């Protein structure tokens, strides 16, 4: 039975041509639901590429308002949207890009209570936040609810990214020590806009490749250095001492 419509076949024709995707792969993509935490520098390219690629549903959580200093890296937004809620601005941009994808957005502070409200029926939870507290939270929710996750972090010209299949592969906490105090604010970090552009794009790529059972970053940490243009993968092993092994 053919699931794709004629218009979908046309829209996604170039990726359907890929031997790694095909119509079967496109059908798989058209069924996935993703929960995105954060709609900033990482979240902009992440949402744009996933919605363009034709997933079923994208739900975005963020509680920020768009400001002038965001535009240097948050490519989802325009000057005319300064002062409005990022989730509203994001919904506007994404809906006009691909009206076939269901976009749900919530202007809510990201904490355990808000994240778990939207976790039901999701195939992925993806961290596009700018702080460690949220990355550890996304990891915990992913492990506790058995949902695949992608977590990336950036600073200046540098980034890291990992994909997690809970209870099967190394989680974020297997790799990074949870700091004692996660509440201390570091203040604004230096960022060149291209860095979240690349890492957020890689997060979208990981969701797509994981859905299609293509090689991904499970049990691997990709460390990106955009100053010397090195992309190094470090092999990971799930820690028996970590909460994800219990």
| Least distance in angstroms from the C-beta of 218 to Zn ion | 12
Per rule CB under 5 A, is residue 151 in the interface with Zn ion? no
| Least distance in angstroms from the C-beta of 102 to Zn ion | 32
In this complex, which beta carbon is closest to Zn ion, that of residue 77 or of residue 172? 172
- Where helices occur in 30-177 by DSSP H, the ranges are 43-53, 86-97, 112-117, 132-145, 172-175
Which residue, among 91, 88, 25, 84, has the nearest Cα to 57 in the 3D structure? 91
Q: Tokens at residue 163, please?
A: 């994909």
Distance in angstroms (rounded) separating the CA atoms of residues 117 and 120: 7
Q: What is the DSSP string of 150-171?
A: EEEEEEBTEEEEEEE-TTTS--
Tokens 């919904």 -> residue: 91
| Least distance in angstroms from the C-beta of 191 to Zn ion | 28
Q: How many residues bind Zn ion (CB under 5 A)?
A: 5
Which residue, among 5, 122, 99, 106, has the nearest Cα to 61 in the 3D structure? 106
Per rule CB under 5 A, is residue 141 in the interface with Zn ion? no
Per rule CB under 5 A, is residue 174 in the interface with Zn ion? yes
Per rule CB under 5 A, is residue 244 in the interface with Zn ion? yes
Per rule CB under 5 A, is residue 224 in the interface with Zn ion? no
Distance in angstroms (rounded) separating the CA atoms of residues 9 and 151: 31
| Least distance in angstroms from the C-beta of 146 to Zn ion | 13
Q: In the set 127, 173, 203, 206, which binds Zn ion (CB under 5 A)?
A: 173
Q: Which stretch binds Zn ion (CB under 5 A): 72-80, 173-181, 193-201, 205-213?
A: 173-181
Q: What does DSSP say about strands 33-37 and 148-155: parallel, antiparallel, or unpaired?
A: unpaired
Per rule CB under 5 A, is residue 221 in the interface with Zn ion? no
Q: Which stretch binds Zn ion (CB under 5 A): 46-54, 92-100, 117-125, 164-172?
A: 164-172
Per rule CB under 5 A, is residue 162 in the interface with Zn ion? no
Straight-line distance from the first to the last Cα atom of the chain, in angstroms, rounded to the nearest whole number: 42
Q: What does each C-alpha distance from 150 to 56, 98, 153, 168, 213 come to in angstroms?
A: 18, 23, 10, 14, 15
Distance in angstroms (rounded) separating the CA atoms of residues 97 and 77: 13
| Least distance in angstroms from the C-beta of 243 to Zn ion | 6
Per rule CB under 5 A, is residue 236 in the interface with Zn ion? no
Per rule CB under 5 A, is residue 142 in the interface with Zn ion? no
Per rule CB under 5 A, is residue 76 in the interface with Zn ion? no
In this complex, which beta carbon is closest to Zn ion, that of residue 21 or of residue 171? 171
| Least distance in angstroms from the C-beta of 69 to Zn ion | 35
Per rule CB under 5 A, is residue 242 in the interface with Zn ion? yes
Q: Is 159 helix (H, G, I), strand (E, B) or coil?
A: strand
Interface residue list for Zn ion (CB under 5 A): 171, 173-174, 242, 244
């Amino acid at each position: 039975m053919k699931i794709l419509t004629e218009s979908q076949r046309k829209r996604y024709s170039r990726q359907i041509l890929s031997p790694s995707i095909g119509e079967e792969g496109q059908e798989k993509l058209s069924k996935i639901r993703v929960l995105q935490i954060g709609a900033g520098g990482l979240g902009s390219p992440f949402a744009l590429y996933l919605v363009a690629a034709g997933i079923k549903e994208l739900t975005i959580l963020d509680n920020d308002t768009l400001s002038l200093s965001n535009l240097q890296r948050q490519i989802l937004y325009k000057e005319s949207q300064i002062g409005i809620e990022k989730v509203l601005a994001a919904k506007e941009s994404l809906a006009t890009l691909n009206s076939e994808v269901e976009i749900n957005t919530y202007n809510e502070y990201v904490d355990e209570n808000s994240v778990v409200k939207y976790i039901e029926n999701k195939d992925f939870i993806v961290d596009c936040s700018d702080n460690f507290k949220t990355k550890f939270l996304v990891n915990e929710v992913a492990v506790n609810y058995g949902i695949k996750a992608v977590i990336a972090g950036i600073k200046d010209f540098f980034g890291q990214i990992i994909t997690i299949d809970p209870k099967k592969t190394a989680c974020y906490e297997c790799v990074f020590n949870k700091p004692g105090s996660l509440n201390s604010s570091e203040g604004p970090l230096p960022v060149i806009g291209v860095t979240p552009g690349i890492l957020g794009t890689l997060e979208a790529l990981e969701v797509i490749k994981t859905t299609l059972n293509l090689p991904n970053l499970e049990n691997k940490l990709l460390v990106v250095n955009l100053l010397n243009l090195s992309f190094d993968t470090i092999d990971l092993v799930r820690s028996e001492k970590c909460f994800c092994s219990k």
